[in-house]
Amino acid sequence: MRFPALVVLALSVASVAAAQTTAHWEYEGKNGVLNWGKLDPAYRACSQGHQQSPIDIRGAHLNKALAPIEFHYIAGGVTETNNGHTVQVDVHPGSYIVAGGVRYDLIQFHFHHPAEEAVKGKLTDMVVHLVHKSADGKLAVVAVRLMEDVGAPNAVLAALWPHLPKTAGASEKVTEMVSPGGFLPADRGYWTYMGSLTTPPCTEGVRWFVFEQEMSLSRDQLRTFAAIFKMNSRPLQETHGRRIEANE
C-alpha cells in the first residue's frame, strides 16, 4: 500500500510513498518491483512483509456481522497530479466513510492499469483506489475494479480525463464538480482484509475494502490512461494465511 494531501493504494497507495521515501523506484527495470526491498532500508517491508498488497481474493469467509460501509462523499473541485507512477486526484476535505464504527476521511484517489487486486486469478482492466485516513492515522483503501465496456463511458472519468496531466510532475485543477461517489457500484458487497500500500515503502496495517461488483469504463477511457501509464501495477503478493472476509 503499493502525508501529502482509501481499499487501501502513494499515500497513493502511490502518494504516501512519495512523501515518506526518497529512493527512486519504478515498476520495471533495475528499480522495478522485484528490487523494491533492496533500494532503501525504508522499503524492507516490500520484500519481507507478511501482509503485503495486492492479493488474489479467493476463499473468503462470510461474516454476517460486517456492516455495510457508510459513504458520505461530496462533489467538488479536484487537483490531478501525475506523480510519475499514477495520476493522483486530491480532493477537498469533507468526504468520508464509516467502516467498523471508524470514520476515515477521503484524502485522494488514483488509478492502476491493469487492476492490482485479482478475484480468483482474474484481473480487470483498471482499478481506482480511494485512499482514506482516520483521525488516529490509520489508513483504509476502497478498491473499485473497472472493466472495459464498449460504449459505456464512466461519468467520473469523463470529467477527469480531459484534464489528465501527461508528464511527471504536472498538475491540473478541475473546477467542475467531481463526485467520487460516481465510482461506487449499486451493489456495495465487499471483501476486506489487512494489507499494505502497493508502492514503496509498502507500509502494512492498511485496511482494504474491495467491492465485489465491477464498474465500467469505455475503451477510449482505458486507452487514454494506458497511453500515459502502459503498466503501473504491482504483482500479486502471498497472503501468508491472512483471513479474507465478505459481508454479503
Residue 102 burial (CB count, 10 A): 14
Query: Would you write out the chain's pLDDT as a tens digit for each of its 248 residues?
Result: 444 444 444 444 444 444 444 799 999 999 999 999 999 999 999 999 999 999 999 999 999 999 999 999 999 999 999 999 999 999 999 999 999 999 999 999 999 999 999 999 999 999 999 999 999 999 999 999 999 997 779 999 999 999 999 999 999 999 999 999 999 999 999 999 999 999 999 999 999 999 999 999 999 999 999 999 999 999 999 999 999 999 97
Direct distance between the N- and C-terminal alpha carbons of the chain, in angstroms, rounded to an integer: 25
pTM over 0.95, yes/no: no
Q: Which candidate, 80, 137, 133, 139, places its Cα nearest to that of 111? A: 80
Pairing of strands 139-148, 87-91: unpaired
Which residues are registered as beta bridge partners of 89?
80, 109
Report which DSSP code applies to 22: -
Q: CA 50, CA 39: separation in Å to the nearest integer?
A: 19
Q: What is the pLDDT of residue 56?
A: 98
Q: CA 137, CA 231: separation in Å to the nearest integer?
A: 30
Catalytic, out of 61, 85, 110, 112: 85
Q: CA 15, CA 194: separation in Å to the nearest integer?
A: 19
Q: What is the pLDDT of residue 27?
A: 98
Q: What is the pLDDT of residue 138?
A: 98
Amino acid identity at 52: Q
Q: What is the pLDDT of residue 22?
A: 72
Place of cell 502518494: 15
Q: Which residues contact 53 (CB under 8 A, 6 or more apart)?
A: 1, 2, 8, 9, 13, 116, 117, 195, 196, 197, 198, 206, 208, 234, 237
Q: What is the pLDDT of residue 42?
A: 96
Q: Which residues contact 132 (CB under 8 A, 6 or more apart)?
A: 6, 8, 96, 97, 104, 105, 106, 107, 139, 140, 141, 142
Q: Which candidate, 129, 91, 107, places its Cα nearest to that of 208? A: 129
Indicate if 85 belongs to the active site: yes
CATH numbers and ranges of domains, the chain: 15-246 (3.10.200.10)
Q: What is the pLDDT of residue 152?
A: 79
Q: What is the pLDDT of residue 16?
A: 46
